[in-house]
Chains A and B, each alone.
Chain A
Amino acid sequence: DTGVSQNPRHKITKRGQNVTFRCDPISEHNRLYWYRQTLGQGPEFLTYFQNEAQLEKSRLLSDRFSAERPKGSFSTLEIQRTEQGDSAMYLCASSARISGNTIYFGEGSWLTVV
């Protein structure tokens, strides 16, 4: 399968614990995005990488959130000291170029903080 891959697909964690999600983009795509989606809402932009450089971060990305893309391939999104409000689906997407092309999403990682 050559689509965007995310894991784990589901994660239940206790409040205060740290969690990490991984995203493997489509192999020829150098742009990578993280979005968050809560119930009843559309996805909201979190951050954007071009190759290994993190070029944009949303205000939604608090200090407890950190994203990396160390070699310009896969990316990780870590949430430290999770809170119940972090419960959401975290979507990763990738694209080859920005002009005229869409972004392709993975199946998402569901996070439940109890």
Chain B
Amino acid sequence: AQKITQTQPGMFVQEKEAVTLDCTYDTSDPSYGLFWYKQPSSGEMIFLIYQGSYDQQNATEGRYSLNFQKARKSANLVISASQLGDSAMYFCAMRERDTGNQFYFGTGTSLTVIP
């Protein structure tokens, strides 16, 4: 079974609007971390935001927030006030306590911000 599922291959958003990128995960480990990375065309994976499985509040980092719904095993990324520079691939990833040296990545969502 896939550890991380991203069902949106591509998304479009109008500049200055908010957009939600979906991510669901599968694990039986009670302790895990969820991450979002941005990958522009240059190739570098840029860390955006982290959510621990025991965190009570949703993580926020500037314009990025993570909508963590533990019972549904979802960890959606919300980008507010989209900018042209947000156009990139976005990857959701998970690290489990028991396999802590491996990050499991989804297949990514390509986001295009329209002027």
- Give A contacts to B, CB under 8 Å: 31, 33, 35, 40-45, 48, 55-56, 58, 89, 91, 93, 98-100, 102-108, 110
Contact = CB atoms under 8 A, between A and B. Distances in A.
Nearest to B89: A42
Contacts of A41: 107-108
Contact of B108 (A42, A56, A91, A99): A42
A42 B4 contact: yes
B103 interface: yes
Contact of A56 (B35, B37, B44, B102): B102
B44 A42 contact: no
Given A42-B93, A42-B108, A45-B102, A105 B45 contact: yes
Interface of B: 4, 33, 35, 37, 42-47, 50, 52, 91, 93, 100-108
Given A56-B101, A100-B50, A102-B35, 6 more contacts: A31-B101, A35-B103, A45-B103, A56-B102, A100-B33, A102-B33
Contacts, number: 60
Contacts of A45: 101-104
A104 B43 contact: no
B42 A107 contact: yes
Contacts of A89: 43
Contacts of B45: 43, 91, 93, 105, 108
